[in-house]
Structures are given as C-alpha cells and as structure tokens.
Amino acid sequence: MIENAILDALKSRRSIRRYQPTQITDQELQAVLEAGTFAPTGKGFQDPWIVAVQNPELIARLTAMNKVFWGLDTDPYYGAPTIVLVFGSDPAKWSNSLYDGALVLGNMMNAAHAIGLGSCWINREREMFATEEGKQLMRELGLPDGLIGIGALSLGYPASFPQRVKPRKENYFRIVK
C-alpha cells in the first residue's frame, strides 16, 4: 500500500461520542470551517450554508429539538462544546444539495481529525429544520428561506478515542480493467 499522511488520517478518523468541556480555539474552528468550504460542489455552485454554534443556550435548544426525532433522552450531540450545522437548498430546486452538504461535512470531519479534534456526524437536522420551530431558528440565524437541514457535526476535544477499528467488509470495492 502507498503510505501517506492524508491516507493514514482518513483510515484513523473515528466518530467521537465523548468530549471534554473545554471549548476549541477560534483558530481550530476556522480551520475546520474553511476545510468545509473547499469541498467539491456540483457545478462549483457552493450551495451549502455552514453555521457553527458555540452559544450554550442555543446548543441546549438544538439538543432539545434533536431529541424529539432521536427518541432517546440523552444528548444527541454527545456534550460537544461546538455544533456545526450544514444547510442546503431544497433538493427539488438543486438536485446536488444533499450530496454537496455531505461532502462539506466529510471535509470538516477529516479536517477536525487532522488537527486533533474529534467530531461525529449527527443526523435528524433535516427533520428538525422542517418544523416551524426549525424554520424560525433558521430565520434567527440569518439564513435565506427555502433551505433544508442536511446534517451537523459535534465538534470538540475528545474525552476518549475509540481504538477498535471495525473490519472493512469483504469485496467492498471492485476493480474492472
């Protein structure tokens, strides 16, 4: 196999579900967010919108909203001091919206890992922001009308790091020559 720092980082990144309460630095947050803006997007349209939340009251509000759709009475953001939300156009208006947002989230997860932060992709933002409460919150965040929630990241310093690597399934990829 080819050895490379980026390939090694991609193989060692894990979803983090326990965070230290210490807030990440502005420089670290900026690096992660900027990495998201360099994700490829369909036709270079740059459709996604990224919102980083560090305000504890707003994090509590997001946590309560997400719990409704999660069905569990635990923190769906795992105690992360930063939550990064990703929004995009309604897929009926821009068919690449979900794909573009997914690439933004992936870039940010890999960037976080590269600088020693932990992250975890969080679902249910599509359902959260489809509600009246969610639409009102998007307006409060200064986002344009017509967007949907694509996903979020919990982001912070890991309190623990999973060591176990799940084996890759057999025949995961094929090569046709």
* pLDDT per residue as tens digits for the range 125-169: 999 999 999 999 999 999 999 999 999 999 999 998 887 788 889
| % of residues, the chain, pLDDT over 70 | 100
Give the N- to C-terminal CA distance of the chain in Å, as an integer. Answer: 19
Which long-range CB contacts under 8 A does 110-114 form with residues at least 24 apart?
Answer: 110/9, 110/10, 110/13, 110/35, 111/31, 111/32, 111/34, 111/35, 111/36, 112/32, 112/153, 112/155, 113/9, 113/12, 113/13, 114/9
* pLDDT per residue as tens digits for the range 48-89: 999 999 999 999 999 999 999 998 899 999 999 999 999 999
User: Which residue segments constitute the domains of the chain, with CATH numbers given?
Assistant: 24-156 (3.40.109.10)
